[in-house]
Amino acid sequence: SIASTSDMGVIVSGYGYDLNFPETRGFAWIVKYNQDGTVGFENEIRQQQELVVYPNPTSDHIHIKSLQAGSLMIYNSSGQLLIRRQLKQGLNQINLSALPGGTYFIHSLTNKQSQRQKIVKY
């Protein structure tokens, strides 16, 4: 949708979802354009991260802090599922030593949200 603002600018917003992960709830975006066509940000809106993954990059293990229990999947760059684990609330550790170096994608599901992150193993 598009709406004009009191400072003669425009706010544009929309909603979308990823067809590769239909179980996700989707995402929303908002952009404010100033009168001269530049993008302006006054306040940043952040959702609390459900999942914190570290260290990244890593050599053998990753630590995962999760606000809620749920499930975690790790995929390679071809989309092949390599690891599936249950997450507990709090600190979790995943051993990646059997995986070759490369880029991997973490997909976590809790009852509140779905989250994706990229990790690099060297």
Which positions ≥6 away from 45 have C-beta within 8 Å?
30
Task: Tell me, yes or no, whether 64 and 91 share the same domain.
Answer: yes
Q: Do 11 and 66 have their domain in common?
A: no
- Mark whether 69 and 108 lie in a shared domain: yes
Where does the pLDDT of residue 119 fall: very low under 50, low under 70, confident under 90, or very high at 90 and above?
A: very high
pTM assigned to the model:
0.61
48 DSSP assignment: P
> Are 83 and 32 in a shared domain?
no
List, for residues 3-25, the tens digit of each pLDDT value.
Answer: 888 888 888 888 776 666 655 56
Structural domain for 39, as ranges:
1-46
- Look at the chain and report how many structural domains it folds into: 2
CATH code, domain with 72: 2.60.40.3080
**Any residues with CB less than 8 A from the CB of 100 and at least 6 apart, and which?**
121
Q: Bigger pLDDT: 122 or 49?
A: 122
Domain identity same for 59 and 101:
yes
Same domain, 57 and 15: no
Statement to judge: residues 59 and 116 lie in one domain = yes
